[in-house]
Amino acid sequence: MNPLDASFVDCFLAFLNDPSANARAAEKRFRAHPYITERLHLFKVSPDVKAYASLQKDFREKLSQLTKTAFLTNADLKELADALNRLQFDIRIQFPRKTKKRTPETIIKIGARVNYVIEKHRVIPQIHPTISGVEGACWYALMLIQVEPERVRICPLKNCGKFFDTRTTGQRRYCSKEHTMKADKTDAARRMHNHRHPDEIKKR
């Protein structure tokens, strides 16, 4: 996963870890990413929606399952592909008048942006998928993660449960150094208790 893909996944995980699922915060976070600012420059927002709670719950369940199995089933893959195709950015084109060959309004989906660059003494096209809207951004991030599912984990510390990227955070088991220290202290206290009260272990 390249650095920009990883930072986009971090935006997705931040959304999943936000207890309020605040709509404005989620939209702002995704809109500020280079995949939006340097591609389509447009991002669908939902001013009437205060929180994406149901969307967050749905993707927390999907990502939790992916972290457990490390792969998507054929049904999951179809759902992912269908969602990405369905949520491509679309524009409405109005024609002056209706004719036999066209209606007054046509919807065109823009699934990618093409950028022409010079590489090895040739001009070649670079195709960049367009992403618009929080739901579309979530599906795109899930697509990125399913290629390397092992890098995303759920913090097992009690009352945490945050998703984190082991590569970008540098953490392996817990989401932060603070939580690693808390877990180590808890484990040390448990071992000390078991050492002092061996009879309790036998009764279990």
User: Looking at the predicted structure, is the pLDDT value of residue 199 above 70?
Assistant: no
Express each pLDDT in 56-115 by its tens digit: 999 999 999 999 998 999 999 999 999 998 888 777 766 666 566 656 667 777 778 888
Structure tokens at 158: 């009690």
User: Would you kindly state where each structural domain of the chain is located, as residue ranges?
Assistant: 3-88+127-169, 174-204
Q: Is the pTM of this model over 0.75?
A: yes
Express each pLDDT in 115-145 by its tens digit: 899 998 999 998 888 888 999 999 999 999 9
Hey, how many other C-beta atoms are within 10 angstroms of the C-beta on 59? 21
Beta carbons of 127 and 110 less than 8 angstroms apart: no
* Ranges 5-9, 109-113, 184-188: which has the least confidence: 184-188
